[in-house]
């Protein structure tokens, strides 16, 4: 399912289903690996040809009528339903690339039976490059998924947001909760890797506090609908990460 060529001859509906099945499985693998410290089992290096399958395209962006349902907004034909999922894929891809590189470097150092040393200049350059890719992976988000639109969308239409606005709110909450959770994990991994230059302990605490503040702000600003649809991990996982971070400074 990782190979785009395997989709040749299939209907557009089957192609979409297979793409989504692969990428949802991919995200589940990354979530288990990054957040629960499990092995990464699905990665571009896992396959000879790499991962070539395309992102989902959002076939349900076409106008769909359901029995007893109201006519959809004219806006509902816009390509917006799947944008948040694809943004999450890019986000988790870039995070896994960075953390996998750190695991590889760490395994090499452990093999030398030496105490954990700060990364060399070359290693730092590679990690810097991968972190920039992670930090900028959401730079091209459309305006309706930008964070500054989250509250305005939530309060749109006198607290009765349209179908399309609800989709935007749900996707934005998912994307930004994922972003800040991954930032916290990466920050802690960098600390364990001796990536940061020597500095007072309070500086690292401040860095983590800033990430925690941003994460809690997303959860506070997102309407209950967005948290409800995204499920328990959207709330329970952030508080678990914040608790773990807090324990390190007790």
Sequential pLDDT tens for the chain (250 residues):
888 889 999 998 899 999 999 999 999 899 888 877 788 889 888 888 889 999 988 765 444 333 344 444 444 434 567 888 899 999 999 999 999 999 888 887 765 555 567 888 899 999 999 999 999 999 988 888 887 776 666 665 556 767 777 888 888 888 998 999 899 989 988 988 888 877 667 788 888 889 888 888 888 887 777 777 666 556 566 666 666 555 554 5
Burial code (b: 16+ CB inside 10 Å, e: under 16) for 115-132 equals eeeebeeebeeebeebbe
Residue in 9, 1, 10, 130 with CA at minimum distance from that of residue 54? 1
| Residue range(s) defining the domain that contains residue 26 | 1-53
Residue 32 covered by a domain: yes
Residue 217 neighbours by CB under 8 Å, 6+ apart: none
pLDDT at 203: 81
Residue 133 covered by a domain: no
In angstroms and rounded to an integer, the radius of gyration of the C-alpha atoms of the chain is 20
Distance CA 218, CA 209 (A): 14
Q: Please answer whether residues 95 and 134 qualify as being in contact, where contact means their C-beta atoms are separated by less than 8 angstroms.
A: yes
Residue 24 covered by a domain: yes
State how many domains the chain has: 1
Residue 245 covered by a domain: no
pLDDT at 238: 62
Residue 40 covered by a domain: yes
Distance CA 167, CA 149 (A): 13
pTM of the model: 0.82
pLDDT at 68: 42
**32 exposure class (CB count in 10 Å sphere: 0-12, 13-18, 19+):** middle
Look-up of token digits 């709110």: 169
Residue 20 covered by a domain: yes
Residue 162 covered by a domain: no
pLDDT at 146: 85
Estimate to the nearest angstrom the gap between the alpha carbon of 84 and the chain centroid.
Answer: 10
Residue 164 neighbours by CB under 8 Å, 6+ apart: 73, 75, 76, 78, 80
Residue 167 covered by a domain: no
């Amino acid at each position: 399912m990782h190979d785009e060529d395997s989709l040749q001859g299939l209907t557009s509906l089957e192609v979409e289903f297979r793409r989504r099945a692969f990428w949802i499985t991919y995200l589940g693998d990354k979530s288990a690996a990054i957040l629960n410290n499990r092995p990464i089992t699905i990665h571009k290096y896992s396959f000879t040809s790499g991962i070539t399958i395309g992102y989902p395209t959002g076939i349900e962006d076409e106008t769909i009528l359901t029995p007893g349902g109201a006519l959809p907004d004219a806006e509902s034909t816009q390509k917006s339903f799947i944008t948040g999922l694809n943004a999450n894929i890019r986000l988790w891809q870039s995070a896994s690339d960075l953390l996998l590189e750190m695991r590889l470097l760490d395994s090499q150092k452990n093999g030398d039976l030496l105490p954990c040393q700060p990364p060399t200049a070359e290693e730092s350059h590679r990690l810097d490059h991968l972190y920039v890719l992670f930090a900028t992976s959401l730079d091209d988000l459309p305006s309706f998924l930008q964070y500054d639109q989250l509250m305005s969308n939530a309060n749109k239409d006198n607290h009765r947001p349209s179908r399309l606005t609800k989709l935007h709110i749900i996707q934005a909450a998912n994307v930004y909760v994922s972003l800040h959770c991954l930032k916290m994990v990466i920050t802690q991994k960098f600390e364990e890797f001796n990536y940061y230059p020597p500095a007072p302990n309070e500086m690292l605490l401040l860095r983590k506090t800033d990430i925690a503040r941003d994460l809690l702000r997303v959860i506070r600003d997102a309407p209950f609908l967005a948290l409800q649809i995204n499920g328990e991990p959207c709330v329970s996982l952030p508080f678990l990460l914040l608790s773990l971070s807090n324990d390190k400074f007790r």
